[in-house]
Amino acid sequence: MAEERQDMLRNIFDLYVTKKGNLNVTKFVNALEQMGLKKSDGRLEPFMTRMRNFQLAPAKGEEIAPIMPNDFAQLIGDAEELIVKAFSGNLVIPDFSTFKKTVTDIYEELKDFKSGNPADYIPQLARADPNLWAVSVCTVDGQRFDIGDIDQTYSIQSTSKPFNYAMALDLYGNEYVNQYVSAEPSGHGFNEIVLDVRNKPHNPMINAGAIMVSSLVEAEMNTADRFEYMQGIFRRLAGDLHVGFNNSIYLSERSVADRNFALGHYMHEHDCFPQGTNLEKVLEFYFQLCSIEAKCDSHCVMAATLANGGICPITGDKVYEPRSVQQTLSLMLSCGMYDYSGQWAFQVGLPAKSGVSGSIIVVVPNVMAMCLYSPPLDKLGNSAKGIEFMNRLLERFNFHHFDSLNHAVQKINPRKNMMTIEDSNRVSLFFAVGAGETGLVKKFYEKEYDFNAKDCNGRSVLHVASASGSESIIRFLIEKTEVRALFQQIRILPNFSSK
Ligand code: GLN
């Protein structure tokens, strides 16, 4: 196995080797970025720094120190697993470039889509620029893509609810939490003054339930510690990407909070809260959690932590127990999109949560999360553009949780299938052929890789070599009998034979 790993590393190195035999770092890093792995990724950053420092300490007479195969193997350290996974085509979305292209196309299609208005019941939210538009993707392997106004910060509003709920489940378990908040769609608006048959809030995704959850999480801490604790959780969920606090949103919301106070008092009247709850402090905590600030990319990584069963994909930090995530996602699927939740589960079929600032987080379990940000809301309070984006994305990809039953509809499955060693060799071979790496192709031949294999588009090695215009590889291939057979089969002129 160790030998196989070494071979893998050497093969990767050989793909980006310069004529002088050292690593072409720029090309190598670009290839990683193509696959969706950013150099700033917490799992790669130390390796990137080691390479930079190594290059900056050249021997006398050299401008930069060349990275040779042995140096590469030494410098790679902890990043080895991820890099081998990436180059052997084993990331969860192996063809990330094509996926990115579709996301970009839909993003562009919707640039001029105009529908709805920003929320106006919180004065500060009403001032949002309706043209802001951003989309982020983060897979469970930490492949990331962001497009649009990704430097824009915004308050996460109701999208904080699933994260707070997951925390309560993690700390106290469902049996305890369920004594205070049910798990039933309400069929009412998100801030309606109504309780279920048990006189409990219907679910934690609407205001009453979320206010209840705010009374549970670390209730014995003082207010400052409590906020710091939860903000720390959000930072870990976001893998240390931007998480802030928007004080003006907080003050603005608190100043017009009659409805949420009314909800609180109504629940208090019905004895819903744990004993000793200070209602005013609970509401303040709830407003603070809604005023946590993110950018589309950090918000997306938070959701990707849910997609990944509670482990942040870009740091490997385990934030929640998988069971809490499973329970949270179940409620996001049935209750996450306000009064549109049923229609959403029917049409999109994925756990999601929206917030009145115009963001929607969507989770494709075990694959990825997306975050869509566009402030104008439809009549039900969801980002109008975000909903339209997901409808269009779901026309192309089989992400709906029952899509596997629907063979009549031709949708793309961008996920990797579990790869065998042969699959992974095949990917390496086609990668080398496509990149015109003759030396590597010869080496694979010696190692008896299957040269009769087809790539995912049904093309033979000879097709790919011809398409990439690598004459030396074509010559090498047609010297080999099994490829010659194929060569005859596809009737390429026989006079182009070996010298
Ligand atoms: N802070 C908002 C409120 O309580 C959150 C509502 C939302 O995003 N749906 O009214």
pLDDT tens digits, 153-165: 999 999 999 999 9
User: Residue 409: pLDDT band by 50, 70, 90 thresholds?
Assistant: low
CATH entry, 1-87, from 1.10.238, 3.40.630, 3.90.950, 1.10.3470 = 1.10.238
- When pLDDT is cut at 50, 70 and 90, the band that residue 487 belongs to is low
Query: What residue spans define the domains of the chain?
Result: 1-87, 100-396
Nearest CA to ligand 1 atom 6: 158
Q: What is the mean pLDDT of residues 404-429?
A: 74
Nearest-CA residue for ligand 1 atom 7 is 158
Distance from the CA of 454 to the center of ligand 1, in angstroms? 52
Residue 287 alpha carbon, nearest atom of ligand 1: 1
CA distances from 461 to 317, 426, 470, 483 (A): 41, 10, 11, 9
pLDDT per residue as tens digits for the range 262-313: 999 999 999 999 999 999 999 999 999 999 999 999 999 999 999 999 999 9
Which ligand 1 atom is at minimum distance from the Cα of 291? 1
**Model pLDDT for residues 187-242, shown as the tens digit of each residue:** 888 888 999 999 999 999 999 999 999 999 999 999 999 999 999 999 999 999 99
Q: What is the pLDDT of residue 405?
A: 78
**CA–centroid distance, residue 158 to ligand 1 (Å):** 5
Atom of ligand 1 nearest to the CA of 357: 8
Cα of 296 to ligand 1 centre, how many Å? Answer: 18
The residue to mutate among 122, 186, 190, 335, having the most atoms of ligand 1 within 8 angstroms of its beta carbon, is 190
In this prediction, residues 421-436 reach a mean pLDDT of 80
What CATH number was assigned to the domain covering residues 100-396?
3.40.710.10
Domains 1-87 and 100-396 in one fold: no
User: How much distance in Å is there from the Cα of 425 to the middle of ligand 1?
Assistant: 51
CB 218 within 8 A of CB 226: yes
CA distance 497 to 499: 6
Contact of 403 with 388, CB cutoff 8 Å: no
More confident residue, 436 or 71: 71
pLDDT reported for residue 256: 92
Kind plus residue range of the DSSP H or E element containing 368:
strand 368-373
Is a pLDDT exceeding 90 seen at residue 244?
A: yes
Dihedral angle of Cα 11, 14, 16, 20, to the nearest 10 degrees: 160
Return the pLDDT at 481: 54
Q: Kindly list the protein residues whose Cβ atom lies closer than 6 A to any atom of ligand 1.
A: 157-158, 190-191, 207, 253, 260, 290, 355-356, 381
